[in-house]
């Protein structure tokens, strides 16, 4: 391990250096060279991570926590904050996910973005995104955590608004940035409370790095164990911060709009980077949540609610990327449910399997969009399996994996979460029941997406050139023809399979989605791997739950097939039927987004007007008027001294001179006395 631990600097430096080169001289490079540089930078980081992971796995379980320290960053009043990185089971699991999935997405992007003029800028942002996420998961102290946290927020803003000439993309980027600031405000308050608690008990902590995890977390566990009120306050603030990054209710509504960015960006955000930040935070700070059963119950309940709420909204979407976006929100709810139930490892298990099949789903959707001239409306698809055989085959695996069909990866991680929930308190069992129902909904809406896209005999896209639709979700209508990346279909258009640079990542991810869950579950590999970092909850065997989970997944798949096998139902068409109106209500998030956004804007305007009246008119105008009045009165008082009589001026000079001489003599005499 000693020979490989310093490779951690290479893990961090490779994507950061790639971003620096591409951001400064990338425009001068050929597109092939820029794409190769960006992809190789992340691949080098992944290979270095594999070597470190191998060295760590060779250590005894109790010693699998290694710290690599660099120069000091802050040193003040007995506190030392160095650039330091933690190599432990949690951080290395995330390193492999971020860099491994990230490298595949970079490779895919070389084909997907090849026509893009700002090719180098895109890869610079991708590299920077990976680097920021690595700082977040590897940093061993709170300041580095916060830098990585804000870094991924900045990079998401840059990538969501990559096509910044389109107003809709700019609005989506701004929305993501602003909503995340709300969550970040909560995170900052939580971190400040931690600092206050640690500072108040400084004398009980050994060492001068008391904001570092290895010194801070054991101290927090001891301190908060006897102060549940403070534990609850800190935990809820941290959770609200995590809810912002990981798109949990009530701060979920920025994530679907983030689909405005290029599809590889969606894959990176949803599968490998930003949205997993909140789950990582909960796992890293698990001692805080363990000390507060109240906060854990809140996490569990809101996770379950988010899962079912987003699943219902997914039914109303006709944009293929929006379906996947709400599925991400729902799956993140599962992860929070598992953490709230005390099975933190199950949340990380689902982070891992979700990275496999969600990256595959987004990249597969990107292949479909690429083949359909950037049309994202599933109602315009149909029978694409005939033209995209590789994309279709890999997406079938991802569809069954996210639906929880055994033996694919999603089945094992969902089962771990539900098993933990049903083994807990009555609140946790209720959340588990909601999660079980959500498993049925997930299988149903994902079957809907697959059938509208790949199955059926009606190739609806053939009608587009002669009769372009104007549905509410169609990109032409939705973007009002402002998006230059929607090209429309030529009269002789025929979808075709994507190039190897795009389908090779699909095949790799399909293999991981197929067998990754079984591998990690077999002999409880992942559970035992994470034991040094996160606590394990005892879970009783529950055969009825196992079969109930399988039945829910299969029922959703079968019902979806039965409903959609005859082609596009009238209720899914462009006409305004009663069901279509209900679908539009679901599409609009049951009014939540509009209510919150409008309320925030109007409420903010009202607050601004009140402040303007009170501060601008009362304070600023009053200060100006008051200053003028004081000057006027002072001038009137001093005017009497300026009366033109020389004798008065001479008297004033004499008095002033005598006063100065007296002060000088007194000062000298005091100095001599001392």
pLDDT band at 635 (very low <50, low <70, confident <90, very high): low
pLDDT band at 109 (very low <50, low <70, confident <90, very high): very high
| SS3 of residue 82 by DSSP | strand
Stretch 195-222: mean pLDDT, rounded? Answer: 91
Which positions ≥6 away from 254 have C-beta within 8 Å? 175, 176, 178, 179, 180, 247
pLDDT of 673 reads 45
pLDDT of 670 reads 58
Which range, 61-70, 165-174, 217-226, 391-400, is most confident?
A: 391-400
Residues 505-524 pLDDT 10s:
999 999 999 999 999 999 89
Least confident interval from 25-29, 449-453, 602-606 = 602-606
Q: Please name which of 440, 149, 424 lies closest in space to residue 300, comparing C-alpha atoms.
A: 424
Whole-angstrom distance, CA of residue 60 vs CA of residue 457? 58
Whole-angstrom distance, CA of residue 644 vs CA of residue 21? 75
Domain coordinates in residue numbering, the chain = 294-562, 595-642, 644-674
Full-model pTM: 0.86
pLDDT band at 617 (very low <50, low <70, confident <90, very high): low
pLDDT of 674 reads 47
Query: Long-range contacts: 191-195, Cβ < 8 Å, 24+?
Result: 191/142, 191/146, 193/230, 193/233, 193/234, 193/237, 194/142, 194/220, 194/234, 194/288, 195/142
Least confident interval from 112-121, 234-243, 297-306, 478-487 = 478-487
Least confident interval from 226-230, 429-433, 484-488 = 484-488
Whole-angstrom distance, CA of residue 489 vs CA of residue 285? 51
Question: What is the gyration radius of the CA atoms in the chain, in angstroms?
Answer: 30
Q: Residue 67: is its pLDDT beyond 90?
A: yes
As a whole-number percent, the residues of the chain with pLDDT over 90 amount to 68
Whole-angstrom distance, CA of residue 601 vs CA of residue 617? 23
pLDDT of 585 reads 65
Helices (H), 26-118: 31-57, 89-112
Between these two residues, 458 and 223, which has the higher pLDDT value? 223
pLDDT of 1 reads 67
Least confident interval from 331-345, 361-375, 388-402, 654-668 = 654-668
Least confident interval from 9-18, 291-300, 616-625 = 616-625
């Amino acid at each position: 391990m000693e020979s490989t631990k310093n490779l951690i600097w290479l893990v961090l430096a490779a994507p950061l250096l790639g971003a620096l080169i591409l951001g400064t001289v990338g425009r001068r490079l050929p597109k092939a060279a820029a794409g190769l540089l960006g992809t190789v930078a992340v691949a080098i980081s992944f290979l270095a991570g594999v070597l470190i992971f191998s060295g760590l796995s060779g250590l005894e379980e109790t010693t699998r926590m290694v710290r690599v320290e660099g120069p000091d960053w802050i040193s003040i009043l007995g506190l030392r904050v160095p650039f330091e990185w933690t190599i432990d089971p949690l951080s290395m699991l995330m390193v492999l996910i971020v860099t491994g999935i990230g490298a595949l997405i970079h490779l895919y992007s070389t084909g997907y973005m090849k026509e893009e003029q700002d090719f180098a800028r895109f890869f610079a942002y991708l590299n920077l995104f990976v680097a920021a996420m690595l700082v977040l998961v590897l940093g061993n102290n709170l300041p580095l955590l916060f830098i990585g946290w804000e870094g991924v927020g900045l990079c998401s803003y840059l990538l969501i608004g990559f096509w910044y000439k389109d107003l809709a993309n700019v609005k989506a980027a701004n929305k993501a940035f602003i909503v995340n600031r709300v969550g970040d405000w909560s995170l900052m308050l939580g971190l400040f409370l931690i600092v206050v608690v640690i500072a108040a008990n400084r004398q009980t902590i050994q060492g001068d790095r008391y904001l570092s995890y290895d010194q801070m977390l054991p101290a927090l566990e001891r301190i908060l164990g006897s102060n549940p009120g403070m534990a609850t306050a800190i935990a809820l603030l941290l959770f609200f911060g995590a809810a912002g990054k990981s798109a949990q209710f009530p701060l979920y509504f920025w994530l679907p709009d983030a689909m405005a960015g290029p599809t590889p960006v969606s894959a990176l955000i949803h599968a490998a980077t930003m949205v997993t930040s909140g789950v990582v935070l909960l796992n890293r700070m698990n001692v805080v949540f363990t000390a507060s059963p109240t906060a854990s119950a809140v996490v569990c309940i809101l996770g379950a609610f988010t899962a079912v709420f987003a699943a219902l909204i997914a039914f109303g979407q006709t944009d293929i990327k929006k379906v996947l976006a709400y599925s991400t929100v729902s799956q993140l709810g599962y992860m929070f449910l598992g953490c709230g139930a005390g099975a933190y490892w199950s949340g990380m298990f689902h982070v891992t399997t979700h990275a496999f099949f969600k990256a595959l789903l987004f990249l597969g959707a990107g292949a479909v969009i690429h083949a359909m001239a950037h049309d994202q409306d599933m109602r315009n698809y149909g029978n694409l399996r005939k033209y995209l055989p590789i994309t279709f085959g890999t997406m079938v695996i991802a569809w069954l994996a996210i639906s929880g069909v055994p033996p694919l990866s999603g089945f094992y991680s969902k089962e771990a979460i539900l098993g933990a929930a049903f083994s807990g308190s009555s609140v946790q069992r209720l959340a588990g029941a909601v999660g079980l129902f959500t498993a049925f909904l997930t299988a149903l809406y994902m079957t809907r997406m697959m059938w509208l896209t790949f199955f059926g005999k009606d190739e609806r896209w053939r009608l587009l050139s002669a009769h372009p639709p104007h549905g509410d979700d169609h990109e032409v209508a939705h973007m009002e023809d402002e998006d230059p990346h929607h090209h429309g279909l030529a009269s002789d258009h025929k979808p075709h399979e994507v190039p190897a640079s795009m389908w090779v990542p699909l095949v790799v991810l399909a293999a991981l989605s197929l067998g990754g869950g079984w591998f990690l579950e077999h002999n409880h590999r992942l559970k035992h791997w994470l034991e040094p970092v996160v606590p394990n909850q005892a879970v009783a065997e529950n055969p009825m739950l196992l079969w109930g989970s399988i039945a829910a997944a299969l029922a959703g798949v079968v019902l979806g097939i039965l409903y959609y096998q005859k082609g596009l139902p009238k209720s899914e068409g462009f006409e305004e039927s009663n069901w279509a109106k209900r679908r539009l209500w679901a599409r609009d998030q049951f009014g939540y987004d509009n209510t919150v956004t409008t309320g925030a804007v109007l409420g903010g305007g009202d607050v601004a007007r009140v402040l303007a009246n009170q501060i601008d008119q009362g304070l600023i105008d009053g200060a100006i008027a008051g200053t003028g009045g004081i000057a006027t009165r002072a001038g009137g008082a001093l005017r009497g001294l300026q009366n033109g009589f020389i004798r008065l001026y001479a008297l004033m000079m004499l008095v002033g001179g005598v006063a100065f001489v007296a002060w000088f003599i007194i000062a000298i005499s005091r100095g001599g006395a001392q």
